[in-house]
């Protein structure tokens, strides 16, 4: 029943057709997960234990007592709720409608809570710091994804996010350290990443080299260059060159006092606030302004853009540079935003996860942020549970962020269509 | 504005697409450009519009020499163009497409979509196009996309307007409307270059005609020249306009559609309980205004759209539920309405495109590989048979001229043994000489005993080919009538008037004027009230 069989050039616009035929894939998946939760976390869970969730931090004005929940009963209740949601999704599917995103989301939250209640049984953990940490870990991913989508919306695939994060991290550390000012380091990060962006633009936009290949090469180049400089220069004089101050936490007056959400969202460093601003600005710019309309035209059908007088090459140059700067800002998180000093290959593949976040977020800034938060949460959860000594082997927990990535991209994304001309060089006749 | 092209030469590798072409368009003149497929018309216009850079020659506007480094310069100089292949971003709305490049803003670069919508509505009302500013381009049938492309060019208020085959997918009524618009613009002083393969449009609207063949100007003509003279000038040989086909010899009825109901991608019922059958050795033409379910009907038969209800049987086999691959293998030859999106892989070579639905069968498959020799031999045969103008079978199909791309699709579909042949707009953008050939080829297929379905908005084509005509309106078949049914009756049926009433009304309409009841209107006119109000 695929339309692609006869339309090799472009799948016929029949996305809705797929949604119309009754498909029980989602309800079945949710049902199986729900049952697994009921059996593993509920019925087979430890009897007589309590799970303690902290919901406010030490410095909050309004202190809320930690929630103490009977582990097994709570997990059973949550699993049943999850199963009810799965049943409702079956009803929706039977009416030949697509299972709504909110339903899957709520299911996910409930399921994870059931899992947490089980994993933390007999111990205690703070929900606030779990969420706070998730947001923090999502920062480089979200910046990377934003940088990626700025490129792809203009028709240039950006595999080089990883390299841009890495050079950004490096630049922030070195410049922050030399000047002794984290904020100068923060400004330096995008400037360093621009080097990678400029090379990407030069080879792909000007010389029409394959975008994927250039991206991969630039990543290797960034690793090589930063590792070399680290080994030969930074290590020699670490005190001067690689001991940047860290960005301080700046609580937003008032807002940071809101219970639970306040500390999570508004007791962060400036880089997190910059992320909020960036997501809003990029969303509005892409979808509400002349600039955005033109960028999207270039990414979808460059020839059409050209025929109405839009300079395709210049648009792509601008966007590749802008995108790399945004990604570079995310790189600053690794050094001045968290540990301080730069370390070899410290981005550890986060650039690729950012790419996944961009796709999962369907090339929209808000979507990319949401996806980044999901991956950030998986990462933080892994860290927290690793410390707590849960019944799950630690090695497995280390896999968690990546498993979530694969399932999210494969399962939730389904049929999405990125900018049609992404990856295609534009050559005039 | 006065436009002069002097000695324009454009080469693509060894091919000279334009060979020292001179052309003068006076202010307020409609200048028709005629020429067979691949003659170099689009190339010349792309040079003028700044998309291609000429190898030699100069462009003068009002006597002043101009160089265009890109369309931006041409647009700034007051040149507008409707491109043969639509330059529309598929995921944009109509309003976004029309405003792109000269957007209304609210200050600060924020788009003013309300103004854009209003502008689209104004233009579309003025010209009777009935466009919805919020419709997404890729969901629109090609005829409507064509109107968007025209509105896009008109919104710019160009002083020189290039129209590259704007009428290829328009209905006669829409064509008449467009001709009216062209006259309005001309009176306001706009110079228009008009490219078309439909000679009667040229005769109706052109002030002067230039004919090019194989890249060079071969002559000019006045609009009072006969169609035959024009055709001869274009092709360089005598063309018999009008096809004298023998009456059909009907065989068994092997193709039957019963109660077919199909929903389009938005869930709207596009085909509503349609039933008909076609016998071997018969051509059934499906006539109707674009967007009345013809596209969905053919796509459902091919299997790319699922049928909600009903059955489709070919030689006793149920096709509903089969995959397009299996349906094609069962003997369906299919020419889609949009060659660029559905008919061809533009980056593949001509040879590869000629075997797209046969690469996995003998003689082209050899084990898991391809028999490249067989592929080449096939390509050479088809290129010769269909007179496809290409630099060779290894050329990318996207580089061919529009009409030649169309010939590749038709050639491919007719090059294997068929049990059923369905073609939508089979001669879209094809020149008169090649139309003659393709029509003969389709009739030959019929005479070989294949049931044939032709979907066309072109009443000339319908009249020429059809043994029977099914008229579709809002997803239903209004009636199935004989092939020689008068245009006036067809026109009314296309507006949804049932057969009997249409006959009545056509008789009444005809009598008071000239008392020639119900005779077919001669092909030289387009003034039937063919379409009515489809919105
Ligand atoms: N970008 C290109 N690269 C190579 N060859 C090209 C290119 N564009 C056009 N051609 C060739 O130039 C010739 C003229 O093509 P053109 O599109 O101008 O024809 P046309 O007169 O518009 O024909 P049609 O009526 O079919 O649209 C053709 O042989 C075509 O294959
Ligand atoms: Mg052309």
Q: Which of A71, A92, A122 is the last residue of a domain?
A: A122
Using the predicted structure, report yes or no on whether residue A8 has a pLDDT greater than 50: no
Range 470-529 of B in CB contact (< 8 A) with A:
none
Per residue in B479-534, pLDDT (tens digit) is 999 998 888 888 889 888 888 888 888 788 766 544 444 433 333 333 333 333 33
Per residue in A96-105, pLDDT (tens digit) is 777 787 888 8
Q: Which helix (H) or strand (E) holds A170?
A: helix A161-179
Q: What is the CATH number of domain B253-331+417-534?
A: 3.40.50.300
A12 in a structural domain: no
DSSP result, B404-418:
HHHHHHHHHHTSS--
Per-residue tokens: A255: 């807002």
The whole-number pLDDT of residue A313 equals: 94
| Alpha carbon of B215 to ligand 1 centroid (Å) | 9
Check if CATH label 1.25.40.10 holds for domain B3-235.
no
Nearest to B95 by CA among B119, B73, B78, B76: B119
Q: Looking at the structure, tell me whether residues A178 and A319 fall in a common domain.
A: yes
Q: Looking at the structure, tell me whether residues A255 and A351 fall in a common domain.
A: yes
Q: Looking at the structure, tell me whether residues A44 and A107 fall in a common domain.
A: yes
Q: Looking at the structure, tell me whether residues A117 and A143 fall in a common domain.
A: no
To the nearest whole Å, the CA of A97 is away from the closest chain B CA by 11
Rounded to the nearest 5°, which phi and psi values hold at B254? -105, -15
- CA A323/CA B420 separation, integer angstroms: 52
HEC readout, B9-42: EEEECCEEEEEEEEEEECCCCEEEEECCCCCCHH
Cβ pairs A/B, distance under 8 A = 132
Per residue in A217-230, pLDDT (tens digit) is 999 999 999 999 99
- Who among A17, A293, A308 is closest to B265 (CB)? A17
Using the predicted structure, report yes or no on whether residue A132 has a pLDDT greater than 70: yes
Q: What percent of chain A has pLDDT over 90?
A: 52
Per-residue tokens: A403: 């498993």
Q: Looking at the structure, tell me whether residues A91 and A146 fall in a common domain.
A: no
Q: What is the mean pLDDT of residues A404-415?
A: 67
**Which residue has its alpha carbon closest to ligand 1 atom 8?**
B399
A172: Cβ contacts below 8 Å, ≥ 6 apart: A185, A186, A188, A189, A192, A244, A331, A332, A335, A336
Q: Looking at the structure, tell me whether residues A338 and A297 fall in a common domain.
A: yes
- CA B329/CA B357 separation, integer angstroms: 8
A17 in a structural domain: no
Reduced to 3 states (helix: H, G, I; strand: E, B; else coil), residue A48 is coil
The answer, yes or no, to whether any atom of ligand 1 lies below 6 A from the CB of B210, is no
To the nearest whole Å, the CA of B95 is away from the closest chain A CA by 11
Q: What is the mean pLDDT of residues A412-418?
A: 66
- CA A328/CA A221 separation, integer angstroms: 15
The answer, yes or no, to whether any atom of ligand 1 lies below 6 A from the CB of B215, is no
Q: Quick check: A16 contacting B, CB < 8 Å?
A: yes
| Alpha carbon of B386 to ligand 2 centroid (Å) | 17
Asked if A6 and B111 come within 8 Å (Cβ–Cβ), the reply is no
Domain range for residue A204?
127-390
Q: Looking at the structure, tell me whether residues A82 and A175 fall in a common domain.
A: no
Q: Total domain count for chain A?
A: 2
User: Is the sign of the CA dihedral A181, A186, A187, A191 positive or negative?
Assistant: positive
The whole-number pLDDT of residue B526 equals: 36
Q: What is the mean pLDDT of residues A2-23?
A: 39
Q: Looking at the structure, tell me whether residues A343 and A356 fall in a common domain.
A: yes
Q: Which helix (H) or strand (E) holds A269?
A: strand A267-269
How many Cα atoms are found within 13 Å in the side-chain-facing hemisphere of B396?
7
The whole-number pLDDT of residue A412 equals: 61
Q: Quick check: A393 contacting B, CB < 8 Å?
A: no
- CA A313/CA A419 separation, integer angstroms: 16
| Alpha carbon of B196 to ligand 2 centroid (Å) | 9
Q: Looking at the structure, tell me whether residues A114 and A156 fall in a common domain.
A: no
Reduced to 3 states (helix: H, G, I; strand: E, B; else coil), residue B315 is coil
The whole-number pLDDT of residue A158 equals: 94
Rounded to the nearest 5°, which phi and psi values hold at B140? -90, 145
Q: What is the mean pLDDT of residues A152-168?
A: 96
CB A300 within 8 A of CB A422: no
Q: Looking at the structure, tell me whether residues A333 and A201 fall in a common domain.
A: yes
Using the predicted structure, report yes or no on whether residue A10 has a pLDDT greater than 70: no
Q: What is the mean pLDDT of residues B332-338?
A: 93
**Token pair 């033409």 is at which residue?**
B285
A339 in a structural domain: yes
Per-residue tokens: B409: 């699709």
The whole-number pLDDT of residue B135 equals: 94
Using the predicted structure, report yes or no on whether residue B465 has a pLDDT greater than 90: yes
Total residues found in chain B within this entry: 535
Per residue in A329-365, pLDDT (tens digit) is 999 999 998 888 999 889 989 999 999 999 888 899 9
Total residues found in chain A within this entry: 429
A39 in a structural domain: yes
Q: Where residue A415 falls among pLDDT bands split at 50, 70, 90?
A: low
- CA A315/CA A95 separation, integer angstroms: 45
To the nearest whole Å, the CA of B60 is away from the closest chain A CA by 20
Per residue in B198-230, pLDDT (tens digit) is 888 999 999 999 999 999 999 999 989 988 888
Q: Looking at the structure, tell me whether residues A299 and A219 fall in a common domain.
A: yes
**Which residue has its alpha carbon closest to ligand 1 atom 6?**
B399
In chain B, helix, strand, coil percent, each to 5?
35, 25, 40
A355 in a structural domain: yes
Judged by average pLDDT, the poorest of A279-283, B319-323, B431-435 is B431-435
Per-residue tokens: B429: 């953008």
A16 in a structural domain: no
A420 in a structural domain: no
Mean pLDDT rounded to a whole number for chain B = 88
Strand ranges, E, within B55-122: 56-61, 64-66, 79-82
CA of A274: how far to CAs of A187, A280, A281, A333, A375, in Å?
Answer: 12, 10, 10, 11, 19
What dihedral angle (degrees, nearest 10) is formed by the CA atoms of B90, B92, B96, B100?
Answer: -50
| Alpha carbon of B15 to ligand 1 centroid (Å) | 10
Alpha helices (runs of H) in B221-293, residue ranges in sequence order: 227-235
- CA B84/CA B146 separation, integer angstroms: 9
Q: Where residue B312 falls among pLDDT bands split at 50, 70, 90?
A: very high
The CATH number that applies at residue A239 is 1.10.3470
Q: Which helix (H) or strand (E) holds B481?
A: strand B476-482
Taking contacts as CB-CB distances below 8 angstroms, the residues of chain A near B340 are 9
The whole-number pLDDT of residue B512 equals: 54
ipTM above 0.85, yes or no: no
Tell the burial category of A301 from Cβ atoms under 10 Å away from its Cβ (0-12, 13-18, 19+): buried
Using the predicted structure, report yes or no on whether residue B99 has a pLDDT greater than 70: yes
Q: Which residue spans of chain B are classified as CATH 3.40.50.300?
A: 3-235, 253-331+417-534
Q: What percent of chain B has pLDDT over 90?
A: 61
- CA B74/CA A66 separation, integer angstroms: 70
The answer, yes or no, to whether any atom of ligand 1 lies below 6 A from the CB of B37, is yes
B233: Cβ contacts below 8 Å, ≥ 6 apart: B34, B211, B218, B219, B221, B225
- Who among A9, A13, A301 is closest to B344 (CB)? A9
Asked if A9 and B341 come within 8 Å (Cβ–Cβ), the reply is yes
CB A336 within 8 A of CB A173: yes
- CA A384/CA A120 separation, integer angstroms: 10
Rounded to the nearest 5°, which phi and psi values hold at B266? -95, 5
Q: Quick check: A394 contacting B, CB < 8 Å?
A: no
The whole-number pLDDT of residue A1 equals: 36
Best residue among B5, B10, B12, B409 to mutate for probing ligand 1's pocket (most ligand atoms within 8 Å of CB) is B12
CB B404 within 8 A of CB B416: no
The answer, yes or no, to whether any atom of ligand 1 lies below 6 A from the CB of B433, is no
The answer, yes or no, to whether any atom of ligand 1 lies below 6 A from the CB of B404, is yes
Q: What percent of chain A has pLDDT over 70?
A: 91
Please identify every residue whose CB atom is under 5 Å from ligand 2, which is an ion. B 42, 84, 401-402
Closest ligand 1 atom number to CA of residue B406: 26
Using the predicted structure, report yes or no on whether residue B441 has a pLDDT greater than 60: yes
Query: Cβ of A183: how many Cβ atoms within 10 Å?
Result: 14
Q: Looking at the structure, tell me whether residues A50 and A170 fall in a common domain.
A: no
The whole-number pLDDT of residue B29 equals: 94
In chain A, helix, strand, coil percent, each to 5?
70, 5, 25
Q: Where residue A411 falls among pLDDT bands split at 50, 70, 90?
A: low
What counts of helices (H) and strands (E) characterise chain B? 17, 22
Per residue in B166-188, pLDDT (tens digit) is 988 777 777 888 898 899 889 98
The answer, yes or no, to whether any atom of ligand 1 lies below 6 A from the CB of B186, is no
């Amino acid at each position: 029943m695929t339309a692609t069989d006869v339309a090799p050039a472009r799948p016929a616009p029949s996305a809705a057709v797929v949604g119309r035929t009754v498909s029980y894939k989602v309800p079945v998946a949710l049902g199986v997960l729900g049952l697994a939760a009921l059996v593993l976390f509920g019925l087979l869970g430890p009897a007589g234990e309590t799970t303690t969730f902290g919901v406010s931090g030490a410095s909050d004005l309004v202190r809320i007592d930690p929630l103490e929940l009977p582990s097994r009963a709570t997990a059973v209740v949550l699993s049943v709720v999850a199963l009810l949601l799965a049943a409702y999704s079956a009803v929706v599917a039977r009416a030949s409608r697509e299972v709504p995103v909110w339903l899957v989301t709520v299911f996910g939250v409930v399921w994870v809570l059931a899992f947490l209640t089980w994993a933390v049984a007999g111990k205690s953990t703070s929900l606030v710091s779990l969420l706070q940490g998730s947001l923090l870990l999502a920062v480089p991913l979200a910046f990377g994804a934003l940088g990626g989508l700025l490129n792809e919306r203009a028709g240039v695939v950006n595999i080089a996010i990883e390299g841009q994060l890495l050079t950004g991290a490096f630049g922030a550390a070195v410049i922050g350290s030399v000047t002794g000012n984290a904020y100068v380091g923060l400004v330096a990060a995008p400037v360093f990443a621009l080097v990678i962006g400029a090379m990407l633009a030069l080879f792909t936009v000007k010389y029409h080299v394959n975008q994927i290949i250039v991206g991969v090469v630039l990543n290797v180049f960034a690793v090589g260059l930063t590792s070399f400089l680290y080994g030969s220069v930074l290590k020699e004089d670490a005190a001067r060159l690689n001991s940047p101050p860290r960005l301080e936490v700046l609580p937003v007056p008032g807002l940071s006092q809101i219970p639970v959400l306040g500390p999570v969202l508004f007791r962060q460093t400036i880089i997190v606030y910059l992320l909020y601003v960036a997501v809003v600005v990029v969303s509005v710019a892409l979808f509400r302004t002349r600039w955005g309309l033109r960028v999207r035209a270039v990414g979808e059908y460059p020839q059409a853009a050209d025929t109405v007088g839009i300079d395709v090459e210049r648009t792509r140059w601008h966007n590749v540079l802008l995108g790399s700067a945004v990604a570079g800002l995310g790189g600053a998180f690794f050094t001045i935003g968290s540990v301080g000093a730069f370390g070899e290959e410290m981005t550890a593949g986060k650039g690729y996860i950012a790419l996944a976040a961009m796709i999962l977020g369907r090339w929209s800034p808000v979507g990319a942020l949401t996806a980044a938060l999901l991956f950030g949460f998986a990462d933080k959860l892994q860290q927290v549970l690793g410390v707590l000594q849960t019944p799950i082997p630690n090695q497995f927990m280390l896999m968690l962020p990546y498993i979530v990535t694969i399932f999210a991209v494969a399962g939730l994304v389904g049929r999405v269509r990125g900018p049609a001309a992404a990856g295609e060089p534009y050559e005039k006749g | 504005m006065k436009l002069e092209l002097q000695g324009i030469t454009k080469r693509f590798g060894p091919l000279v697409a334009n060979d020292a072409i001179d052309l003068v368009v006076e202010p307020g003149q409609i200048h028709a450009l005629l020429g067979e497929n691949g003659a170099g018309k689009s190339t010349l216009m792309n040079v003028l519009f700044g998309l291609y850079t000429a190898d030699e020659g100069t462009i003068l506007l009002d006597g002043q020499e101009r160089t265009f480094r890109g369309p931006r310069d041409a647009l700034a100089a007051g040149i507008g163009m409707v491109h043969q292949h639509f330059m529309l971003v598929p995921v944009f709305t109509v309003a976004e497409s029309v405003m792109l490049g000269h957007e209304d803003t609210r200050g600060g670069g924020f788009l003013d979509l309300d103004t854009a919508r209003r502008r689209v509505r104004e233009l579309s009302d003025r010209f009777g196009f009935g466009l919805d500013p919020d419709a997404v381009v890729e969901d629109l049938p090609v005829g409507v996309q064509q109107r968007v492309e025209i509105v896009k060019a008109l919104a710019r208020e160009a002083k020189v307007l290039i129209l590259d085959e704007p009428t290829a997918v328009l209905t006669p009524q829409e064509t008449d409307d467009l001709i009216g618009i062209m006259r309005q613009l001309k009176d306001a002083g706009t110079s228009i270059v008009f490219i078309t393969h439909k000679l009667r449009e040229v005769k109706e609207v052109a002030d002067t005609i230039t004919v090019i063949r194989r890249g060079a100007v071969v002559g000019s003509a006045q609009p009072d020249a006969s169609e035959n003279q024009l055709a001869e000038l274009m092709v360089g040989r005598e063309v018999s306009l009008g096809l004298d086909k023998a009456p059909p010899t009907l065989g068994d009825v092997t193709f039957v559609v019963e109660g077919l109901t199909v929903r389009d991608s938005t869930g709207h019922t596009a085909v509503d309980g349609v039933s008909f059958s076609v016998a071997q050795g018969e051509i059934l033409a499906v006539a109707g205004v674009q967007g009345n379910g013809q596209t969905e009907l053919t796509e459902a038969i091919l299997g790319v759209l699922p049928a909600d209800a009903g059955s489709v049987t070919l030689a006793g086999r149920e096709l509903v539920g089969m995959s397009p691959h299996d349906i094609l293998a069962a003997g369906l030859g299919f020419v889609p309405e949009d060659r660029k999106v559905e008919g061809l892989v533009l980056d593949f070579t001509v040879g590869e495109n000629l075997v797209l639905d046969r690469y996995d069968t003998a003689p082209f498959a050899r084990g898991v590989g391809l028999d490249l020799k067989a592929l080449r031999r096939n390509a050479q045969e088809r290129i010769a048979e269909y007179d496809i103008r290409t630099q060779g079978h290894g050329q990318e199909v996207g580089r061919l001229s529009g009409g030649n791309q169309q010939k590749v699709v038709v050639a491919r579909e007719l090059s294997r043994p068929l049990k059923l042949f369905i073609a939508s707009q089979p001669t879209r953008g094809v020149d008169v000489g090649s139309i003659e050939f393709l029509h003969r080829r389709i009739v030959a297929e019929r005479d070989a005993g294949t049931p044939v379905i032709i979907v066309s908005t072109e009443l000339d084509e319908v009249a020429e080919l059809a043994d029977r005509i099914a008229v579709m309106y809002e997803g239903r078949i209004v009636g199935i009538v004989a092939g020689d049914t008068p245009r006036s009756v067809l026109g009314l049926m296309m507006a949804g008037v049932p057969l009997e009433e249409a006959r009545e009304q056509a008789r009444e309409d005809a009598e008071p004027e000239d008392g020639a009841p119900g005779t077919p209107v001669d092909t030289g006119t387009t003034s039937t009230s063919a379409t009515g109000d489809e919105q």
